[in-house]
Chain A
Amino acid sequence: MSKWPEATEERARAIIAQYPNRRSAVMPLLYLAMSEEGYLTEAGMARVAELVGITPAQVLSVASFYTMYKLEPVGRYLISCCTSISCMLLGSDDVLHALEEEVGVASGEVDSEGLIGLEHAECIGACGGAPAMQVNYELIEGINPEKARQLVEWLRKARPEVVNTDEMQSLFGGRPSFDWAITEDVGAVGPYPAYEPFGTVRSSTE
């Protein structure tokens, strides 16, 4: 199987070395595979299998268990709109409906350009700031249908290289679950978590 670029291979080695058991690295390596191609391709999963010493079928069986491992492209910006109980009580279904209209797809689909994907999510741990949503897992709390539409418009126009939670919160958010207190100047570059050990964090001010 073909290897990833050296920088990613290097990260993979560092991740594997941390765990007492190679197989435990399968989840972080699946994120590395996502960061290479935006979603999990057969080649990506085969490389994970090779690195941890299990079969591609075993990797697929793990990958398909978790909602954040995407087996198909989900767009450059993945919008996850929470519609669990606390968000539902405060109008999340109207937010999701507005998003469907504005993106022009049903929940679970990607727009024709491959730019924006939309999904409804179960509770994302922002219930005090309901209704809440995420773009590439970066959070916005206290959203409403109108702001949700504006957010989609902004993603289309500005096409931010880096999706920053504080920027989105200040432009489109409302009441948060708790005081965020300080801002960060980093964010996500694709539909997977922005996390240093995965090499997926970028500065948003450069």
Chain B
Amino acid sequence: MNAPLLVTKRMVEHPTDSHTLERYKATGGYAAAKRAVSMTRDELVEAVKSSGLLGRGGAAFSAGLKWSFLAPARPAYLVVNGDESEPGTFKDRQLLERDPHQLIEGVIITAIANEVHHAFIYIRGEYPKPARRVQQAVEEAYRQGYLGQGIFNTDFDLEVIVHLGAGAYICGEETALINSLEGLRGEPRLKPPYFPAAVGLYNKPTIVNNVETLSNLPHILNDGVDAFKALGHEADTGTFLFSVSGHVEKPGNYELPHGLTWRELIFDVAGGIPNGRKLKTWIPGGASAPWFVPPDHLDLPITKDDTAKAGSMLGSGAVVVMNDSTCVVRAAERVVRFFAHESCGQCTPCREGTSWLELILRRIESGQGREVDPDLLLDVSDNISVGLAWPPKMTTICPLGPSAVSPIISIIKYFKDEVMAHIHDGRCPLIA
């Protein structure tokens, strides 16, 4: 597939120096920010809204629409979400490491559009190398007069602070991230208010956007809204970064337009399943997403709507592929363990429920499962995610709890026989 690239173009064409200011400027860098300083908030919000750009942090919410919700109180803040911690996701790491100026230019454009003079780039603590690159790039941008007081010789001030996380997936949830930035425990805030754009950091209007979302902005301004839309697939405009991992020949980040099929992504783009194995199942959009199986889902087009209709989501773009040697009980246990480990503990159904799910799965995996365990799994799941609906009905403060239910529903829906075989035979049926 040779689709045009946006956010990974520079690093593909100039692998050894795509992160440098020199290369960035030599390839048209900061032209969009220079243009943005003379544009009005309305013009910028309108451009981003009509580009159709959807957030790339998982919720796929219109970036321009979010900006238009910004409450009038000032100061307003911008927080860049670089906490990327959902198992299977490693795209923002590549953008931070290999093209930090592209992100900074996106930050400048967003700050101008939202009348923000203080922006924070929150990078997970386990990403020291990306953080070093971004920090260096921020310093370079300050020296150039692109950041700081009176950017681009205007009277617009913009301070940018790089903030390191310290190992907590939940800080990726935007209100937890805001608490973390305020020096509190990273616990999600009660909703409403539903959007930090109303009340966020220091109780002021705050825009939170993902690294990839903002990295797209220079391209939208440079190439124009129509070009951006034309690249994409109907409602899913622009390109999308897929992180493909697990049992594929060529794992990696792939920047592609939506609309190709899962078959094309897994078998053509990622090279198929190695070692003569067969495809068993895949997680289409990060650990929180319900799983897909062949042949039912293989020829579905990869779009937000088609994926939602089939009962899952594209989320953060992480595609985890599993071959036919994979024990699904074990795989589900591993995903559930993650959520149990990362639960912040505020809501009882999430705190207690995720741990119980992990324990029951481990019991089944080790051959100690009981006949009632599948029903028990569903019952506990129902307490976390009422009615087991998709998308989940929220009874917890944030969607982390309900996320833990996705692997449970998936294995019981598609692999009940394999689960029961563990229970009846007292061991994993896949181990000869």
Q: Which residues of A contact B (CB under 8 A)?
A: 18-21, 23-28, 30-31, 52, 54, 61-62, 65-69, 80, 83-86, 88-90, 121-130, 134, 137-139, 165, 175, 177-182, 184, 186, 188, 193-197, 201
A184 to chain B: which residues have CB within 8 Å?
A: 129, 132
A30 to chain B: which residues have CB within 8 Å?
A: 166
Do A126 and B90 touch across chains, with their CB atoms under 8 A apart? yes
Residue of B nearest to A178 (CB): B94
B186 contacts A by Cβ under 8 Å: yes
Stretch at the interface among B31-39, B41-49, B51-59, B243-251: B243-251
Residue of A nearest to B127 (CB): A125
Known contacts A182-B16, A195-B131; decide if A88 and B164 are in contact (CB<8 Å). Answer: no
Stretch at the interface among B140-148, B177-185, B212-220: B177-185
Known contacts A122-B85, A127-B320; decide if A26 and B183 are in contact (CB<8 Å). Answer: yes
- Of B164, B246, B334, which contacts A83 at CB under 8 A? B334
Do A137 and B334 touch across chains, with their CB atoms under 8 A apart? no
Interface residues on B, range: 35 or more
Stretch at the interface among B258-266, B335-343, B368-376, B412-420: B335-343
Do A177 and B90 touch across chains, with their CB atoms under 8 A apart? yes
- Of B132, B187, B253, which contacts A195 at CB under 8 A? B132
Do A177 and B252 touch across chains, with their CB atoms under 8 A apart? yes
B169 contacts A by Cβ under 8 Å: yes
A-B contact pairs, 25 of them (CB 8 A): A19-B161, A21-B183, A23-B183, A24-B183, A27-B163, A27-B165, A27-B166, A28-B164, A68-B166, A85-B283, A85-B320, A85-B334, A90-B247, A122-B341, A123-B88, A123-B89, A127-B246, A128-B252, A137-B125, A177-B245, A178-B94, A178-B252, A180-B97, A181-B98, A201-B132
B181 to chain A: which residues have CB within 8 Å?
A: 24
A65 to chain B: which residues have CB within 8 Å?
A: 168, 185-187, 344
Leading 5 A-B pairs by shortest Cβ distance? A67-B167, A66-B166, A23-B183, A26-B183, A68-B167
Do A128 and B253 touch across chains, with their CB atoms under 8 A apart? yes
Do A52 and B183 touch across chains, with their CB atoms under 8 A apart? yes
Do A193 and B98 touch across chains, with their CB atoms under 8 A apart? no
Contact with A along B232-256 (1 / 0, CB 8 A): 0000000000011111000111000
Additional pairs, 11, CB under 8 Å, beyond known A122-B342, A182-B19? A27-B183, A65-B168, A85-B87, A85-B334, A86-B246, A90-B247, A138-B129, A175-B251, A179-B15, A193-B131, A195-B164
Interface of chain B: mostly helix, strand, loop or mixed:
mixed
Residue of A nearest to B85 (CB): A123
Known contacts A65-B186, A84-B334; decide if A196 and B132 are in contact (CB<8 Å). Answer: yes
A28 to chain B: which residues have CB within 8 Å?
A: 163-164
B135 to chain A: which residues have CB within 8 Å?
A: 195-197
Using a CB-CB cutoff of 8 Å, which residues 112-134 of chain B contact chain A? Answer: 118, 124-129, 131-132
Q: Chain B nearest CB: distance from A198 CB in Å? A: 8
B300 contacts A by Cβ under 8 Å: no
Assembly CA distance A95 to B131 (angstroms): 27
Q: Chain A nearest CB: distance from B212 CB in Å? A: 13
Do A125 and B18 touch across chains, with their CB atoms under 8 A apart? no
Q: Chain A nearest CB: distance from B134 CB in Å? A: 10
B318 contacts A by Cβ under 8 Å: yes
B334 to chain A: which residues have CB within 8 Å?
A: 83-85, 88
Assembly CA distance A69 to B185 (angstroms): 12
B65 contacts A by Cβ under 8 Å: no
Assembly CA distance A28 to B131 (angstroms): 13
Do A66 and B167 touch across chains, with their CB atoms under 8 A apart? yes
Known contacts A137-B126, A194-B128; decide if A128 and B164 are in contact (CB<8 Å). Answer: no
Residue of B nearest to A128 (CB): B251
Do A23 and B182 touch across chains, with their CB atoms under 8 A apart? yes
Do A128 and B244 touch across chains, with their CB atoms under 8 A apart? yes
Known contacts A85-B335, A194-B132; decide if A127 and B251 are in contact (CB<8 Å). Answer: yes
Do B331 and A139 touch across chains, with their CB atoms under 8 A apart? no
Q: Chain A nearest CB: distance from B258 CB in Å? A: 20
Do A89 and B322 touch across chains, with their CB atoms under 8 A apart? yes
Assembly CA distance A129 to B245 (angstroms): 8
Do A127 and B164 touch across chains, with their CB atoms under 8 A apart? no
Known contacts A62-B184, A125-B89, A193-B128; decide if A86 and B164 are in contact (CB<8 Å). Answer: no
A27 to chain B: which residues have CB within 8 Å?
A: 163-166, 180, 183
Do B165 and A66 touch across chains, with their CB atoms under 8 A apart? yes
- Of A19, A31, A88, A127, which contacts B89 at CB under 8 A? A127
Assembly CA distance A49 to B135 (angstroms): 26
